[in-house]
Amino acid sequence: MHLFLSPHFDDAVLSCGGTIHQLTQKGELVTVRTVMGGSPPLERVPDSPIVRDLHIRWKQGDDPVSARAKEDETAVTSLGAVLKRMTVWIDCVYRTNRKGEALYLTEAAIFGDIHPEDTTGKWLPSVVLPPDEAVHFIYVPLGVGHHVDHQIVRNWGLELVKQNPWVALKFYEEYPYTQDQNALERALAFYEGLSIKLKRETVNLTEANIAAKVQAIRKYESQISTFWESAEAMEIAVRRSLRENDQNVERYWSMVRE
C-alpha cells in the first residue's frame, strides 16, 4: 500500500496527483492521509492577520475547514485513491498557546521555524501507524518552502521509518513552492545536516495522468486564487512545472539506507 501524508487538504494532490493516478490505474492501493484535517471550534479561531487573510482568500463562509475538507474528498477520490482525514490536528494558523494566543500570526511566521509552544510539533511525530495498515511506501513532504506543518509531517515521516524499517520512505517536492530553486536547495540542506542520504527519482507521467491531476486540482476551488489568476492559468503553470528534459515528471527523493 502507498501512503501519502498530506499536511493540508491539497498538498498531496498538488505535488503527487499524477503519481497517485498512475498508481491507482495500475491497481495499486493508495491512501492519502490529510494530517492537519481537524476543525477548530469556531469560537476559538484566533483573530489573527493570517487567518483573516486566508478566510477572505478562500471565500468559504463561516466554516472554511469543512468546505476545504469536501474539496479534498472530491479531489482525492477523483484520482482513485482513498482519503483518510486526521481530525486531532489542526492547521498551524489555528493553533494557540494555553492563553489562547495564536502561535503563528503572519504568513512569514508559517514559513518560519516551529514555535516552541506548538504541541503538534512535539506530539505528532510520536504517532504510530494503525496496526491493520500494510504500508510499503510512505510519501512525505520534502520541506520545500519551509512551511511549519510540512516540517512537522516531514519529521513524522522520519520517525515512522524508525518504527517501520521495512517501509520505503519517499519525500515529495512540494508544488508550487518548487518554483523557487533556492527553496529546494534549502530543503535539501536539512537532510545534509542530519547526514541523511537522499536519491533523486522521477515518475514519468502520461497525458492521462497529467489531465487527471489538473482536474483534481480544479476541485480545490478555494485555493485557485491563492496561487493562480484562474483555473486556466493553473493548468498552464502545472503542466510547465512537470516538464523536465522533454518529459513530464513528478519528483521525489528516496531515503538511502546504509
Tens-place pLDDT, residues 56-90 = 777 656 678 888 999 999 999 999 999 999 999 99
**2-256 maps to CATH 3.40.50.10320:** yes
Rounded Cα–Cα distance for residues 249 and 178 (Å) = 13
Taking Cα atoms as reference points, which of 57, 87, 53 lies closest to residue 72? 87
**How high is the pLDDT of residue 181?**
82
To 10 degrees, the CA torsion angle through 171, 173, 175, 180? 150
Rounded Cα–Cα distance for residues 69 and 156 (Å) = 22
Query: Could you tell me what percent of the chain has a pLDDT over 70?
Result: 98
Rounded Cα–Cα distance for residues 129 and 234 (Å) = 34
Whether the model clears a pTM of 0.85, i.e. scores above it, the answer is yes
**How high is the pLDDT of residue 226?**
81
> Which DSSP helix (H) or strand (E) runs through 138?
strand 137-141
Rounded Cα–Cα distance for residues 186 and 191 (Å) = 10
Q: Work out the pLDDT band at 47, boundaries 50, 70, 90.
A: confident
**How high is the pLDDT of residue 21?**
98
Taking Cα atoms as reference points, which of 64, 61, 114, 71 lies closest to residue 220? 71
Q: Work out the pLDDT band at 49, boundaries 50, 70, 90.
A: confident
**How high is the pLDDT of residue 61?**
62
| Cα end-to-end distance, the chain, whole Å | 24
Residue 3: beta bridge partners?
31, 138
pLDDT at 202 over 80: yes
More confident site: 18 or 65: 18
